[in-house]
């Protein structure tokens, strides 16, 4: 309320903004159903409510959606399935090749990278036909 008193904002808009900021979806819906006319009424009604330590449902759903479509990738070795903090390979310097660790080139030009050399061989064979 103190912060809101420093700016020019309509009482209805302030009340709506406070309600939208309630992280628990059930509590937010209850506040919307109450039809509070003033922000002070919302604050009075919720001053004794304590939120659980769990993340709000909307964050959990977002994380589940992401994990279903995206795999975890290591920023150290570029492999799927683990984080860099769990990587067993030696720490790679920033900007170094993911394949061999050289600072002279990137993985797309790595001679030790089997996939890149395989793609090169396939494209050169196709070009010869």
The answer as to whether 7 is a domain residue is yes
In a domain, 66, yes or no: no
Count the domains in the chain: 2
Query: Has residue 100 been placed in a domain?
Result: yes
The DSSP-derived string for 39-69 is HHHHHHHHTT----SSPPHHHHHHHHHHHHH
86 and 42, same domain (yes or no): no
| CA distances in angstroms from 7 to 3, 11, 14, 116, listed in the order given | 7, 11, 10, 58
pTM for this predicted structure: 0.37
Domain range holding 30?
A: 2-46
What are the tens digits of pLDDT across the range 73-126?
Answer: 888 877 888 888 888 888 888 788 877 888 888 878 888 765 544 444 444 445
Tell me the C-alpha to C-alpha distance, in Å, between residue 31 and each of 18, 24, 39, 67, 108. 10, 11, 11, 32, 55
Tens digits of residue pLDDT in 44-87: 888 888 877 655 555 555 555 555 545 788 888 778 888 888 88
**Quick one: 75 and 41 in the same domain?**
no
In a domain, 64, yes or no: no
């Amino acid at each position: 309320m103190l912060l809101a008193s420093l700016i020019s904002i309509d009482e209805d808009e302030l009340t709506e903004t406070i309600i939208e900021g309630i992280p628990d979806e059930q509590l937010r819906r209850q506040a919307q159903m109450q039809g509070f006319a003033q922000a002070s009424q919302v604050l009075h009604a919720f001053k004794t409510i304590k939120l659980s330590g769990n993340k709000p449902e909307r964050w959990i759903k977002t994380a589940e959606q992401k994990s279903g479509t995206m795999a975890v990738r290591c920023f150290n070795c570029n492999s799927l399935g683990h984080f860099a903090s769990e990587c067993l390979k030696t720490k790679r310097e920033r900007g170094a090749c993911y394949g061999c660790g050289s600072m002279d080139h990137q993985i797309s030009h790595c001679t030790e990278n089997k996939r890149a050399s395989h793609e090169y061989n396939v494209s050169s064979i196709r070009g010869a036909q």
